[in-house]
Structure 1
């Protein structure tokens, strides 16, 4: 032993190169985490639960073996004295489960998982880490003298603070509440540890203008924009929409719908509602949730132009590091900034996550205004867990949800949201749609008469400016090849940086009145700000047709309505979601009362038919894992997190050679996968069907960067990626069903 002085005070954390007098006592760390976690959980009436979880979470660090580990790690003990087993997260969990009954089991999930993530109760994905097994195995450490003495000193106080349920729980409430409680604990633990270990980094957090100052900035810039805007009917209607949003903001928090035709200024109007509503009701932040990464940057840039560059935090995988500051990187960890812009995938997958890092942010959704943009794009196979999470946020976490879209689905008619009172912000959506009608949508007379791509290509060549949207990537490639050398091709075979460059160039040509013909998959439909005089759309579901029409005569500059021509493509959509949407619309068109794309009441009808055609909405799966055994608090959190995947993992990202990607790939080879480097390279990836990767590796078309099994794949043959069509694989050999966006 290098230093025979025994450390009598248990410590939670040490500092490298400093003696125990500079370390953090376990008592202080537990108290600080308890205080902070309780403050977080107060938003949903669970402060007592979070406080007790905070006091208990590091109880196991009182073990003599853990204190010896700290001494050894800091050179105070020889290696021969190192205690190999010094785990600490199980002790507080075992005490809670043994002393507090079923209520203690709830705390045990949070405490046992505060590093490794919420466990399954039994069996599941990691059986050896399941709560039931850990409570059986880890309990033996409670008898260790040092730990037993620590518990004896605190037990009376812990028992005196035995909490009761924050509200009369229903079976569907408990697992969601437990995940929110877990969020409070892990975020408090991260922040308190950071405050001790990295005070400079802790000081960099939360450097944002308060929401009231941001509102002043937003509405001043909005007024200036309105004053400078051309006096057109479209702009007058947009002003009326914003006024309706500001008026509705006075209503009590809850569930709202914002039904605005495409091009009606939904982004700014929704933000105006959110700011007024948050300030009126003392809410903490605004979270803007967007379905596609292809449009999140556009929305974030619009908000930055009104709120300031440093006051909008983006959180998504394709974020350009040049747009990140230290404060924004830190805010993305736990969403403690006043304005967050994120993806639907990030938002909902976090709500069903089990990992500590993914759950940190959840408590900050409480007491917020959440705008769910293009909400009709929620995946039908996960509709029940998505709407259940939405219902939980509205019912118990003082969250206002805004369902914003031009094509409202029937989410509040049945299922978990049926018990919520959904208030429409726009006083008369039907009249609004009539006033904002800028297009003539021409549906095919004969739904059986399919047309060839050659015919469509010939028609497109008649227009100097035209957009054609098709259903699959092979269709897009085929039509683009037939439509002439000057056609602009857009699909997810192009990497994100390439798509962004092409879309910017298309906007510039449209603005200049120059010829531009575009053939695209449906990636341009939701929120991409393009304005063509003519749009062609391959037949599909009603909502997608309406979204495509939103790219036509968007600003109402043409005296005559823009033309939206819907045609029957050579083949039906591949089996799956697109085929079911197509079939649902065909069925409605053949009914006694066919729907109209110009009538907002048609969209709930379409979505009811579309949802009814689904084989599974996720209810059965998630009920089994998170609801069925709720009364005995037996949850399968890891199974649920693995099952909740909004993007199926049937593709892998491949780094392609476009633009500046070679220099970043070279750095990746030299430095390995550093965070900032990987964020840059996200802009240069294309998703490739997983089953093709072995063949492409075997042919030498791709390579896997070392070490083996890294999962980092790089295009090797330069001719595989072209300026025109992006990644150029043998499309004919692929299953069309795998090539949908």
Structure 2
């Protein structure tokens, strides 16, 4: 009898269970090899759908295809437990054997979870969802013995299987022996997540290739590609040298820093810092390092991680122009699909809308990737198989963290542990890129930065040479409201051609913009209520005024600070953290076109920062340093943006937040680090279990992976991504997402949709639902705004009564 894994939608061809298991095994092995766990990953691949070797599943899938409008009742066929149970039965019974038990736990958890998310080994209710699954009895898994026999008959003989597992055990031992700053539980947490990632991607890739009737795509030589890119980049850099402007001090210094990046790329992979000042040519210099290092050390990906979606398109476009390549550069802004609560155990094998969304290519396998800090952290810590699917592709990579000081404070320890894992196990090179380096080695869970980590030499000289602005302290003298600020802006625009105002809250920005709208000078508004395509359109108009030296005022939230390439004559910044003030200063006289220009720091009293604690604390600490400088101008190196001032600021900032650096989960009264990586002796759930049950939990790993993921949100208030009807393209994307597309078309549409998406806070989503401003697409997996809920001026309109004509865009 032929057992069925999948039935192709187009021609009803069958993929047998053994074809699928061996195909996924091969892919998983290739992914696992990156960190030396080829056989551990392969084990997950070959066993994950072993439970499809049943009459029950075969009858179910045939019936479902015959009667798509009235398929058999879902929920009756559990096919993902069998593989985990087999490992448990063969290697996790009898006297505890450390390596065998750990292998069964790590791989078994990945297998039983591959239709949802990793299970807890022990949860807050002192139960083990993992054990509950793998200990299912013969009444719950009626055909387990048949599945087991078919596996050994058709996939791998019992003797070969035992040899294969022995190799996996050897890999596990070598993995655990490797020196690493974290404890064994931390190592095992990352290993489990890596195996899960390799399995999810291998499973979905194999299924997609079968559905599209394609074979495994050959991997092009990344070395050849990166070497060719490097030649193009050097041609561009060398072409600047023949221009007259190349001889200026600033441009000569930019070239010198670029050359230093080129030389530094020859060093082995590690964690390094690149402290190029704003306007110092950071994008090209970091790309030079990345391409040369990737070519020399055979890296597979170059990943740029930026703090906000605002600068993804700008940086990606700059790189595209230089490399003259579009197909190999991926921009990943946000997850358009909500899959956090998916559990499609009983839909597998049938290609419906939900399955197509799962199979859409979304695994970060592109040579060059631009993404955000939120997405990077979500890969390792958030729930949802779409997030973790990308994890294995961050190995053997060069990862550049642009504006690394923007790592959310509560995520500092998690961020540090992730980078330490990628350095030690993932063979990745990690570059912390910013003009204001945070003290990441000052905190409890330290970042393992390499010795002599700074790429740029003589930093103090470089900072002095790049000084283009004077910080004017108005924050310790007086306070401002919007009326007073509007008058101040009018005064300044009378003296210069362009003024940028950066405030801390969207509400105050919007109110000030409305107040200034009647001005004789063009006024523009920017906030995260607008989708990326909308913001780019506004920035394009602003840049046109700046290039033509026309009068212009721009009022924005802090999104404009991190790396957006604009240069104003005057900047007014509402008091915030020192790093934000430095970034704001980088939008003034950016290229040193004029003599020293002024950046005014003000204290705005109308901003409500009660829900923005990091900004509130940053504001307090910055004010303290400003007061010091007012008393003694030689304090802190005589400059609020000096290296001494920055070091003091970050140390005080992290000290203020010391109790929350390990991601404290208020609801559970626990730090996330404890849920993920505490050892048996100190794990409070395990202690309580032993006291309550009067016995030890029969597991080596007792951590709570799913509970941790369910409680992880980079932004405090969980957000939902929605597509907006901005311009013809935004409307077209919404119209096309009707469920009839091929997987390939869906992949393309979802990529495009990211530029036409915004994130809604829970209260915003609830208000829109109440005001009937949302539409649901593809069985509720994707949400979109109605046209009346999006304004061409402000973006999101919660009242759903926007009458603005968007067709002009």
TM-score after normalising by structure 1: 0.86
Deviation at 1:654, TM superposition (A): 6.4
* Counterpart selection for 2:226 from 197, 203, 211: 211
Look up the match of 2:456: 426
The 3-state SS of whatever aligns with 2:525 is strand
Look up the match of 1:475: 508
Q: Say if 2:309 is the partner of 1:293.
A: yes
Cα deviation code 1:346-384 (max 9, x no counterpart): 111012245333222211111111001111111112221
Look up the match of 1:542: 578
Aligned residues: 705
Deviation at 1:692, TM superposition (A): 5.2
Deviation at 1:234, TM superposition (A): 2.1
The 3-state SS of whatever aligns with 1:424 is coil
The 3-state SS of whatever aligns with 1:334 is coil
**Residues 498-507 or 267-276, more deviating:** 498-507
1:46/1:519 CA distance change after superposition, 3 Å: same
Q: Say if 2:763 is the partner of 1:691.
A: yes
Cα deviation code 1:494-517 (max 9, x no counterpart): 343332111111111111111111
Look up the match of 2:141: 141
Alignment of 1:504-653 (within 5 A): 504-558=540-594, 560-571=595-606, 574-575=609-610, 576-590=613-627, 593-594=635-636, 596-614=639-657, 615-619=659-663, 620-629=670-679, 632-649=700-717
* Counterpart selection for 1:191 from 185, 205, 209: 205
Deviation at 1:628, TM superposition (A): 1.8
Deviation at 1:695, TM superposition (A): 5.2
Contact 1:487 1:519 in 2 (8 A): yes
The 3-state SS of whatever aligns with 2:499 is strand
**Residues 131-140 or 587-596, more deviating:** 587-596
Contact 1:410 1:605 in 2 (8 A): no
Contact 2:776 2:784 in 1 (8 A): yes
User: In structure 1, what is the Cα distance between the partners aligned to 2:266 and 2:319?
Assistant: 22
Look up the match of 2:31: 40
The 3-state SS of whatever aligns with 1:137 is coil
**Residues 568-577 or 688-697, more deviating:** 688-697
Cα deviation code 1:165-199 (max 9, x no counterpart): 22326222111111111222222222333333323
* Counterpart selection for 1:492 from 528, 534, 538: 528
Look up the match of 1:131: 130
1:514/1:349 CA distance change after superposition, 3 Å: same
User: In structure 2, what is the Cα distance between the partners aligned to 1:29 and 1:490?
Assistant: 49
Deviation at 1:469, TM superposition (A): 1.2
Look up the match of 1:170: 184
User: In structure 2, what is the Cα distance between the partners aligned to 1:254 and 1:599?
Assistant: 27
Cα deviation code 1:431-469 (max 9, x no counterpart): 11011111111223x626213433332232223311111
Alignment of 1:252-331 (within 5 A): 252-307=268-323, 308-317=325-334
User: In structure 2, what is the Cα distance between the partners aligned to 1:643 and 1:464?
Assistant: 48
Contact 1:183 1:361 in 2 (8 A): yes
Deviation at 1:662, TM superposition (A): 8.3
The 3-state SS of whatever aligns with 2:671 is helix
Deviation at 1:480, TM superposition (A): 2.7
Contact 2:480 2:605 in 1 (8 A): yes
Look up the match of 2:470: 440
Contact 1:64 1:147 in 2 (8 A): no
Deviation at 1:59, TM superposition (A): 1.9
The 3-state SS of whatever aligns with 1:286 is strand
User: In structure 1, what is the Cα distance between the partners aligned to 2:405 and 2:599?
Assistant: 21
Deviation at 1:133, TM superposition (A): 1.6
Contact 1:179 1:359 in 2 (8 A): yes
Look up the match of 1:323: none
The 3-state SS of whatever aligns with 1:566 is strand
* Counterpart selection for 1:355 from 373, 380, 384: 384
Q: Say if 2:44 is the partner of 1:63.
A: no
1:43/1:125 CA distance change after superposition, 3 Å: farther
Structure 2: state its 5+ residue gaps.
93-100, 178-182, 337-357, 664-669, 681-698, 800-809
User: In structure 2, what is the Cα distance between the partners aligned to 1:84 and 1:381?
Assistant: 39
Look up the match of 2:686: none
Deviation at 1:547, TM superposition (A): 0.2
Look up the match of 1:735: none
1:23/1:268 CA distance change after superposition, 3 Å: same
Q: Say if 2:371 is the partner of 1:342.
A: yes
Q: Say if 2:167 is the partner of 1:117.
A: no
Structure 1: state its 5+ residue gaps.
1-6, 320-328, 731-741
Deviation at 1:395, TM superposition (A): 1.7
Pairwise CA RMSD of aligned residues? Answer: 3.6
Look up the match of 1:733: none
The 3-state SS of whatever aligns with 2:565 is coil
The 3-state SS of whatever aligns with 1:632 is coil
Deviation at 1:648, TM superposition (A): 3.5
Look up the match of 1:503: 539
User: In structure 1, what is the Cα distance between the partners aligned to 2:360 and 2:64?
Assistant: 31
* Counterpart selection for 1:156 from 156, 159, 162: 159
1:527/1:36 CA distance change after superposition, 3 Å: same
1:151/1:12 CA distance change after superposition, 3 Å: same
Look up the match of 1:738: none
Look up the match of 2:42: 51
Contact 1:493 1:726 in 2 (8 A): yes
TM-score after normalising by structure 2: 0.79
Deviation at 1:217, TM superposition (A): 2.5
Deviation at 1:99, TM superposition (A): 1.7
Contact 2:574 2:602 in 1 (8 A): yes
User: In structure 2, what is the Cα distance between the partners aligned to 1:405 and 1:250?
Assistant: 21
* Counterpart selection for 2:91 from 100, 104, 123: 100
Deviation at 1:618, TM superposition (A): 2.9
Contact 1:387 1:415 in 2 (8 A): no
Contact 1:314 1:332 in 2 (8 A): no
1:573/1:561 CA distance change after superposition, 3 Å: farther
1:310/1:681 CA distance change after superposition, 3 Å: closer
Q: Say if 2:498 is the partner of 1:465.
A: yes
* Counterpart selection for 2:403 from 360, 371, 374: 374
1:97/1:529 CA distance change after superposition, 3 Å: same
Cα deviation code 1:292-338 (max 9, x no counterpart): 1111000000110112222212222399xxxxxxxxx9996222222
User: In structure 2, what is the Cα distance between the partners aligned to 1:597 and 1:476?
Assistant: 25
Contact 1:263 1:550 in 2 (8 A): yes
User: In structure 1, what is the Cα distance between the partners aligned to 2:313 and 2:306?
Assistant: 10
User: In structure 1, what is the Cα distance between the partners aligned to 2:26 and 2:752?
Assistant: 38
Look up the match of 1:736: none
